[in-house]
Amino acid sequence: MDKKIRVELGERGYDIVIGSKILEKIPGVIISDPLVYKLYRSRVKGLGARVILIPRGERYKTVAMVEKIWDKLAEWKISRDDTIVALGGGVVGDIAGFAAATYMRGINLIQVPTTLLAQVDSSIGGKTGVDHSKGKNLIGAFYQPSKVIIDTDTLKTLPEKELRNGMAEVIKYGVIQSPYLFELLESGRMEMEKIIFECARIKAEVVAGDERETGGGRMILNFGHTIGHAIETLSKYRKISHGEAVAIGMVAASVIAVKAGMLDPDFLERIWKLVDKFKLPTYVKGIPARKILEAIKLDKKVRGGKIKLVLPTAIGSVEIRDDIPPQKIAEALNEFICK
């Protein structure tokens, strides 16, 4: 039986539906990538006579790619009564979401994430956008979907590396708010529907309380992302995946928390071991700390020149700090993260 979680945003609220064999229920103009569409074409056949395929990879998450989508939508005379279906991973969801947010000032959007990372994180909450040479997701909009449909069957065809990518975000939820989830992961019980449900539940609650990151509550979802995004940008979105960068960022934030006297070293060890358990990196090669700090200064989360960091205080608890001196961040990076 399908499970539902409600994202409570008043008139713009929507359901997250989690189940298996539910792709068949989705109508609309499909935006996907060639590999994903090939895998699920037979299951979504007839849902939309029109399909837009975009190349795979973060490096294609650009304004130029969105412009190509706009061109197609205009050519097909797509109206505000139509629906865009984002069928794919996080890159597809971000691009399709931004296209939906901007075409005709907004048309209906359904997110159908097919990767673990997108299912537990990027498809929920309305963040859409594209990358810029100066930073990740610098151009974008908050635009909520009308529904998120998570078909857990899609994980059966997911490569191991993509599963690992998603596990970085799953670990994040455990550290920021769910000791239950963290301990479930430590136990090695990969009960995916439970894992996805718990992550989606947390994300829905956080987004409902602070939709546009103005009240500070949503900021906790950026655990591992401030340093992680900098590493992604410096790797030019090719050498290091989003999940890998977030994993390194979480370890870095935990090291900084220990050095700031906020986190018991035993908790750092548990976080490090869990990241390593899922074969995710805990350090980065060839990128100096000074470059990471320079990239962080362009991050959207920097305010008044102060670097905002989400730092753990225990498993299931974090604090937002903007008083950690850059030299202290650099020391932690040089000692533990930058090899």
Q: Known binder of ligand: residue 33? A: no
Residues 125, 192: Cα–Cα separation, whole Å: 21
Contacts of 295 (CB under 8 A, 6+ apart): 135, 229, 230, 231, 233, 234
Q: Output the DSSP codes for 47-72.
A: S-S-EEE--SSGGG-SHHHHHHHHHH
- The tens-digit pLDDT sequence of the chain (339 residues) is 789 999 999 999 999 999 988 877 677 899 999 999 999 988 876 555 799 999 998 899 999 999 999 999 999 999 999 999 999 999 999 999 999 999 999 999 999 999 999 999 999 999 999 999 888 889 999 999 999 999 999 999 999 999 999 999 999 999 999 999 999 999 998 899 999 999 999 999 999 999 998 888 999 999 999 999 999 999 988 889 999 999 999 999 999 999 999 999 999 999 999 999 999 999 999 999 999 999 998 876 677 778 999 999 999 999 999 999 999 999 999 999 998
Residue 104 is encoded by which pair of tokens?
Answer: 């005709």
* Catalytic residue from among 162, 169, 198, 211: 169
SS3 sequence of 185-225: HHHCCCCHHHHHHHHHHHHHHHHHHCCCCCCCHHHHHHCCH
- To the query of whether residue 132 is one of the catalytic residues in this protein, the response is no
- To the query of whether residue 203 is one of the catalytic residues in this protein, the response is yes
Crossing angle of helices 160-177/192-209, nearest 10°?
Answer: 50
Residues 178, 215: Cα–Cα separation, whole Å: 21
Q: Known binder of ligand: residue 156? A: yes
- To the query of whether residue 212 is one of the catalytic residues in this protein, the response is no
Tokens 């190509």, located at residue: 68
* Catalytic residue from among 147, 172, 225, 308: 225
Which pLDDT does position 28 carry in this prediction?
86
- To the query of whether residue 222 is one of the catalytic residues in this protein, the response is yes
Q: Which residues pair with 113 in a beta bridge?
A: 88
Domain over 3-157 is classified CATH 3.40.50.1970: yes
Q: Helix (H) and strand (E) counts for the chain?
A: 12, 11
- For 161, the 3-state DSSP assignment is helix
- For 158, the 3-state DSSP assignment is coil
Q: Known binder of ligand: residue 155? A: yes
Return the closest-CA partner of residue 227 out of 173, 150, 174, 289. Answer: 289
Q: Known binder of ligand: residue 242? A: yes
Q: What's the distance, CA 205 to chain centroid?
A: 16
pLDDT tens column, 59-74: 999 999 999 999 999 9
Which pLDDT does position 170 carry in this prediction?
99
pLDDT tens column, 147-160: 999 999 999 999 99
267 backbone dihedrals φ, ψ, rounded to 5°? -70, -40
The pTM score is: 0.92
* Catalytic residue from among 164, 165, 201, 222: 222
Where are the strands (E) in 8-47, listed by range? Answer: 14-19, 29-32
Domain over 160-337 is classified CATH 3.20.20.140: no
- To the query of whether residue 225 is one of the catalytic residues in this protein, the response is yes
Q: Known binder of ligand: residue 93? A: yes
Domain ranges of the chain: 3-157, 160-337
Which pLDDT does position 25 carry in this prediction?
65
